[in-house]
Structure 1
Amino acid sequence: MQWLKTKTVAQALADADEPGRQLKRSLGTFDLMILGLAVAVGAGIFSVGARAAGTFAGPAVIFSFIIAAFTCALAIMCYAEFASSVPVTGSAYTYTYLTLGEGLAWIIGWNLLLEMISAAAVIAKYWGIYLSTVLSVAGIDLSSTIELGGLTMYWGPFLIVAVFTVLLIAGTQVSAKVNNVFTILKLAITVFVIVVGFTYMNTDNFTPFIPPA
């Protein structure tokens, strides 16, 4: 059956070498390392973690970060094994095609697109909130929404998506350089918050470690 049809590694490599389907290697080791850190340390770490600790989990939110770190480690090892076994583009779509068939690969491919769209929407939303906050602190009070054709639209996320769309159109190397700058800045802020936060830590707040439901 067509949906159970699989490929071999040799076929996948041959397809990747077809004229017009080859991708230029434009990212170095450092770029890939920073890209991995950018994915692991997302924009939500500045807002979601604090909200979860202050509203729901209390100090026990530490367990969430430990579980997340363990899960990331497993995902890293899985993708490292996949990439070394099948050194072609396609991510989980290609690996599923080779092992489980075209039908499941089709589902995985659309799931990857849905994942990227959902993640981009969340990040754009929070970046829009950050942008509005920065303008407010600077004394520039602007409405967070605009009316466009009878629809109410949040201009912050729209602007963020537009800017990064232009960067992607400019090329992989340009967007990678911008990503490197933002990721290093983000990591520096995270380390700064951790170091300074230790000086304000009150151990009395760790009781109860797991608050009542």
Structure 2
Amino acid sequence: MRNKSIEATIQDAASPETRLARALGPLQLTLMGIGVTIGAGIFVLTGTAAANYAGPSIALSYTIGAVATALVALCYMEFASTVPVAGSAYTFAYVSLGELVAWLIGWDLILDMTMGASAVASGWSQYVTDFLATFGIHIPASVSGPDAAVNIPAVLVILVLTAILASGVRTTSRINTVMTMVKLAAIVIFLVIGVTHVDAANWSPFIPASQPVGGDGDMWEQPLLGWAGLGADATFGMAGILTGGAIVFGAYSGFDIMASNAEEAKRPQRTLPIALLSTVAVCAVLYVAVALTVTGMQHYSELDNAAPITGALKAAGADWAVRIVGIGAICGLTTVVMIMLLGQSRVFLAMSRDRLLPEWFSHVHPVTRSPRRITWTLGLMVAFMTAVLPIGDLAELGNIGMLTSFIVVCVGVVYLRRSRPDLPRGFRTPWVPAVPAVAVLLCLLLVGNLPLITWARFLGWMAAGLLIYLCWGRRHSKVATGELAAGGTPGTAEDHDMAGGRGASSRGASSAP
């Protein structure tokens, strides 16, 4: 199996031309995690998933997602504290399961974050349109919102955020902190107002009766498990709760992106576990609370739009609060797009460092320490996707990519425990292999409840990635060219400190003996 050692991975991250700055402490990283996690799930997908899949029981979908997320996060914490460099699941797969799996997961993560950022940007556009409408400024539906021919506001915000990311992680962190605080304040205001307008009749039935998928008999809209005869071919009911869980699971993707920024964390062995656990706990509570409130304010069948929160406030007659919550929603969705763009650039950076993608992309600006070439390339690609694809397709494609990467990370933890039991670990996942196994089963259950059309698109994307690997990466990677022996090279005690928790400084490191 062609793989790369942890020591060699850390050594590569210390290269002066590609090294990132360690500038994020526990608070900054936690706020970054909350900033990217609290956004689309609350402000966009809560309504569409409730209306189309689960009804008021969307709160149960979020709960299932939280349990699966917590288990997967425990696996991520072990990897991120052991290999504190950019790349997230891609890097973890390379040091455990080999180059081919790493490439496919890296390609998969690009899909996940690209589609996720595009989906949130589409929702952002709708919130901006609704917010401006409260001042009498009306943007034509043909150029704004999820049904626009070309979603111009969404494209513009992606380009602006790309420019901010290119200026460096410190600037990004400061902007994220301010916007996240505004977002959390808006959510609290919504909950305070919302609970006074809840009508318990809207929760009845809490779990709507099961209905066949696609009354027109479209097999492509069936969940994979239902199509295969392994699950219910239905929406609502228990099948709807599981499908809703698969759809909204992307709302918990923040910890994955935090792991992508491990190389920019101060003292990553301590910072990352604290930030990951804090993010999952805070976000799970807020998601369930908002899901219960919004479905209590308005019947779930009326929530199928890209701005369900402000829509529920309007329906309740709380027009005065629409602007306040609208500002928070706009800030919230802005941080999600920004951090997703940040995360995908770090995955791309790791892949180009290994020369599985052209090494030209791995150049880091000497002043800002940001990978500008990657940032602008991916920013333009996301802008294009946002302009041409609908929000539902974007969200589902992002989720299937993320769930796949989670499965690989959980398997990788078990494999690395067996292959390198004495490796210094800043955090150890408890109850291995039980925790990774349960996490894998939950992820498989959720991914199996995504529509067949989503699977077809995903497999097409992965087939294209495999072709690129066979034509380029397989022959040009550092391992393939002999610049790095399979399994890696030994290094210095300084890198052992970085891997084991004693030397995570901004100067980088070499590698462990």
| Band of TM-score, shorter chain | 0.7 to 0.9
Matched, 1:193 2:179: no
Counterpart position of 2:490: none
Match of 1:149 in 2: none
Query: Residue 47 of structure 2 aligns to which amino acid in structure 1?
Result: A
Task: Indicate conservation of the 8 Å contact 1:7/1:97, yes or no.
Answer: yes
User: Whole-Å Cα distance in 2 between the matches of residues 57 and 90 of structure 1?
Assistant: 34
1:158 paired to 2:142: no
CA deviation digits over 1:44-63, x for unaligned, max 9?
41232133335542221110
Q: 1:168-196, CA deviations, whole angstroms, 9 ceiling, x for partnerless residues? A: 12221112111112222222222222222
Does 2:33 match 1:36? Answer: yes
Is 1:184 paired with 2:184?
no
CA positional deviation for 1:95: 0.9
- Any idea what SS the aligned residue of 1:153 has? coil
How far apart are 1:156 and its partner, in Å? Answer: 1.2
Tell which deviates more after alignment, 62-71 or 187-196: 187-196
- Please report how far the alpha carbon of residue 85 of structure 1 lies from its aligned counterpart in structure 2 after TM superposition: 1.8
Contact 1:58/1:210, CA 8 A, preserved across alignment: yes
What CA distance in whole angstroms lies between the structure 2 residues aligned with 1:122 and 1:80? 27
Deviation readout 1:116-137 (Å, 9 max, x if unpaired) = 1101110111111111112222
Look up the match of 1:86. Answer: 83
Please name the residue that 1:207 is paired with.
204
Task: Give 1:61's aligned amino acid.
Answer: I
Q: Structure 2: 5+ residue runs without aligned partners?
A: 144-148, 211-513
Displacement of 1:37 in angstroms is 0.9
Pick one of 84, 90, 93 that aligns with 1:96. 93
Residues 13-162 of structure 1 aligned to structure 2 (within 5 Å): 13-54=10-51, 56-145=53-142, 152-162=149-159
Deviates more, 1:42-51 or 1:28-37: 42-51
Please identify, of 95-104 and 176-185, the stretch whose mean Cα deviation from structure 2 is larger.
176-185
Are 1:171 and 2:168 matched, yes or no?
Answer: yes
Say which is worse superposed, 159-168 or 19-28, in terms of deviation: 19-28
Taking a change above 3 Å as real, the CA distance of residues 54 and 18 of structure 1, as seen in their structure-2 partners, is closer
Aligned in 2, Cα 1:54/1:118: closer, same or farther, shift over 3 Å?
closer
Distance 1:10 1:212 in 2: 54
In 2 relative to 1, CA 137–103 (structure 1 residues): closer, same or farther, beyond 3 Å?
same
CA gap of 1:88–1:170, structure 2 versus 1, over 3 A, is closer
Q: In the alignment, what sits opposite 1:9?
A: 6
Sequence identity (%): 39
Provide the rounded CA distance (Å) in 2 between the counterparts of 1:144 and 1:209: 34
Comparing 91-100 with 192-201, which one deviates more in the overlay? 192-201
For the residue of structure 1 that corresponds to 2:150, the secondary structure is strand
* Total equivalences in the alignment: 205
Return the structure number with greater relative CO, CA threshold 8 A, min gap 6: 2
Q: 1:87 to 1:171 in 2, by over 3 A?
A: closer
Return closer, same or farther for 1:166/1:66 CA change in 2, 3 Å cut-off.
same
- Is the 8 Å Cα contact of residues 6 and 101 (structure 1) preserved in structure 2? yes
Give the deviation of 1:92 after TM superposition: 0.9
Q: Secondary structure at the match of 1:211?
A: coil
Q: TM-score, normalised by structure 2?
A: 0.38
Change in 2 beyond 3 A, CA 1:188/1:86: same
The letter of the residue matching 1:192 is I
Please provide the CA RMSD for this pair.
Answer: 1.9
Using the size of structure 1 for normalisation, the TM-score is 0.87
- Aligned partners of 2:79, 2:189: CA distance in 1, in Å? 35
For 1:65, the aligned partner's letter is: Y
Distance 1:56 1:87 in 2: 38
Q: Which runs of 4+ in 1 moved over 4 A?
A: none
Rounded to whole Å, the distance in 2 between the matches of 1:130 and 1:101 is 43
Is contact 1:6-1:98 (8 Å) kept?
Answer: yes
Deviations 1:9-45 (A, max 9, x none): 2222222223323211122221100111122212341
State the SS of the aligned residue for 1:7.
coil
